[in-house]
A and B are shown apart, each in its own frame.
Chain A
Amino acid sequence: MIVERKKLNFWERLYLPAVIGGFKVTLRHFIKVVFKRQPVTMQYPEERWVVPEGYRGAPYLVKDQEGNTKCVSCQLCEFVCPPKAIKIIPPGPAGQLADRPNAEKMPAEFEINMLRCIFCGYCQEVCPEEAIFLQKDWSHVGTNRAEMIYNKEKLLSLGGTHAGTQKWKHKLEEAKEQESFPVKA
């Protein structure tokens, strides 16, 4: 692309219009910051960014509305995780039962290495139980590598309850209704 350069007239060639323009622009910004106190920068540890909805932060495990673990240790998330950040230890044949009805098991241990996690959201997408969600946390600080591996207890406490989806409650109702005939619409 060839840009046609405008021929400058005498007044413009003195650079004075540009000089005055420069003074005006810089003065406007100076006043904006010094007198109106509107800098664009943020004083980080004190002021924090407001995270928008749909933000993909750290993945945490969630509990259902009754405070039970939703994860059933199917290990799909472990399988799909691209950087292999998730590690699940299933309970085994003789292991602990799930703490809620309609689930056969729950993980004995569930670890996410936040140093490996790339916040892609595949775990959330693949989870059949809607037990793991990418939440709004974006600042992860630890003084060593071990601290950055979040275990099941920590993930559950950070995740909180997720009352929005009540998949198993509806499944239970459906199952009960199947006992009666004809099936309600």
Chain B
Amino acid sequence: MMDAINNWINGLDATQQFLLFSGVKILGVFAVLMTCVAYAVWVERKVAAAIQDRVGPNRAGPFGLLQPACDGIKAFLKEDFTPAHVRKAYFWIAPAVAMIPALLTVAVIPFGSNLGAQKMVIADLNVGILYTFGIVSLGVYGIVLAGYAANSKYPFIGGIRSSAQMISYELSMGLSVIPIFLWVGDLNLSQLVLSQTGFVSWLPEALGGVRLPNWLVFQSPMLALSFFIFLVAAFAETNRTPFDLPEAEQELAGGYNVEYSSIKFALFFMGEYAAMITASAMMVTLFFGGWTLPWFGLDQPAQSILGGLLHIGIFFVKVVAFVFTIIWVRWMWPRFRYDQLMDLGWRKFIPLALANIVVTAIWLWWRSQS
């Protein structure tokens, strides 16, 4: 059986093989991502419960593990109600537009080294990060369209807040990654991961066994600042607390998705969680070494299938850690006031990110001179 499949694959020409393997990778990543989205909701509910001294979902299956299935079935079976006063075409498009950018971003993220001869990234683009920013900026359209289509005040205010917020923070997000590319000199995310192998060189030998992984966040204070700005901007871009003004349950009764029900509402929800997971994956790739670990030679591309799977596992664990932190923060901090949000974005982070670029550039120039 395996031989037959091998022969068949070897018989295909290069284009056919590329299509086949890309298709398999897309299916695999999509399946894993959607499962993660479902269980991110479960984790959110469990963590929220634990922080508030409650138990959380525990009736469907052991530890409530079948809760995502129940939620999904419920969302599909509920009446798909379209209010009479909405703008129908936009109303139908908006949930899909909110969902798709989050899925498209995953395409350029290297989620493992390689399995056999295949690189574990769907599209190994040389302009990976530019592509990401192009797609992420589309994310606002789903929410703005939903707010406009709903034709009522709460969604409208939610949509307006969202557009202002996402445009503001996208600037600082874009500016915050420039120091990385000045430092590494490559826009390809796979190359970026390979530049984060081993241990940092600036820690003195006197510390003995204490060594930090050579991840970009540890490589210099400028890059650590970059990470900080990127992290905050990522919270804002994914509409998570403390930047969840578009939703703002208390004041906007849910914001842009008020008029939605059933699976259309669930699509917004899934879009938010998918965006959260992709943002975590971006942070892991850019600042925390992607699929690498400096120990046991795990920072070199895998030679065996097992090693490849291990790399995917390492990447997965790192992403889960980030997702957990993002969820944790939601149950800890209050929301920013709107003027504070704008103030933070335009008057704190953008100048900070610009200064960071200049300082990084000067430092690199000085280092190349000496």
A residues sitting closer than 8 Å to B (CB atoms) are: 19, 22-23, 25-26, 29-30, 32-34, 38-41, 43
Stretch in B46-54, B85-93, B113-121 touching the partner = B46-54
B54 engages A40 (CB within 8 Å): yes
Q: Can you identify 18 A-B contacts, CB atoms within 8 angstroms?
A: A22-B332, A23-B328, A25-B332, A26-B51, A26-B332, A30-B47, A30-B51, A32-B53, A33-B50, A33-B51, A33-B55, A34-B50, A39-B49, A39-B50, A39-B53, A39-B54, A40-B54, A43-B55
Most buried by A among B51, B58, B331: B51
Contacts of A25 in B (CB 8 A): 332
- Chain B residues near A38: list those with CB within 8 A: 53
Report the Cα distance A109→B328, complex, angstroms.
61
The A interface is mostly helix, strand or loop, or mixed, namely helix
Q: Is B50's CB under 8 angstroms from A40's CB?
A: no
Proximity string of chain B (280-320) to chain A, C-beta cutoff 8 Å, 1 when within and 0 when not = 00000000000000000000000000000000000000000
Inter-chain CA distance A170–B355, complex, in Å, is 95
A41 touches B54 (CB 8 A): yes
Q: Would B55 and A26 count as touching, CB distance under 8 A?
A: no
What total of A-B pairs shows CB separation below 8 Å?
A: 39
Given contacts A22-B332, A23-B332, contact A29 B52 (CB under 8 A): yes
Q: Considering the chains assembled together, what is the distance between the CA atoms of A25 and B329 in angstroms?
A: 12
Whether the Cβ atoms of A26 and B328 lie closer than 8 Å is yes
Q: Which residues of B contact A32 (CB under 8 A)?
A: 53
Q: Which of B49, B54, B58, B331 interacts with A26 by CB under 8 Å?
A: B331
B332 touches A39 (CB 8 A): no
**Contact yes or no, B53 A29, CB < 8 A:** yes
Shortest CB distance B255–A (Å): 24
Interface string of B51-71 (1 = CB under 8 A from A): 111110010000000000000
Q: Does B333 touch A at the CB level, under 8 Å?
A: yes
Q: Which residue of B lies closest to A31 (CB)?
A: B50
Residue among A19, A22, A26, A38 with max Cβ neighbours from chain B (10 Å) = A26
**Across-interface contacts of A30 in B (CB, < 8 A):** 47, 50-51, 328
A34 to B50, CA, bound (A): 6
Smallest CB separation, A50 vs chain B (Å): 19
The CA of A33 and the CA of B48, in the complex, are separated in Å by 11
Q: How far is the CB of B309 from chain A (nearest CB, A)?
A: 29
B49 — which chain A residues lie within 8 A by C-beta? 33, 39
Minimal beta-carbon separation of B369 from chain A (angstroms)? 34
A residues in contact with B328, CB < 8 Å: 23, 26, 30
**Closest 7 A/B residue pairs (Cβ):** A33-B50, A22-B332, A40-B53, A30-B50, A26-B332, A26-B51, A41-B54
In the assembled complex, the Cα of A19 lies from the Cα of B47 at a distance in Å of: 18
Closest CB-CB distance, A25 to chain B, in whole Å? Answer: 8
On whether the beta carbons of A39 and B47 are closer than 8 Å, the reply is no
Contacts of A39 in B (CB 8 A): 49-50, 53-55
* Chain B residues within an 8 Å CB radius of A22: 332-333
Is the Cβ of B50 less than 8 Å from the Cβ of A41?
A: no
Q: Are B333 and A29 in contact (CB under 8 A)?
A: no
Cα distance A40–B47 when bound, in Å?
A: 15
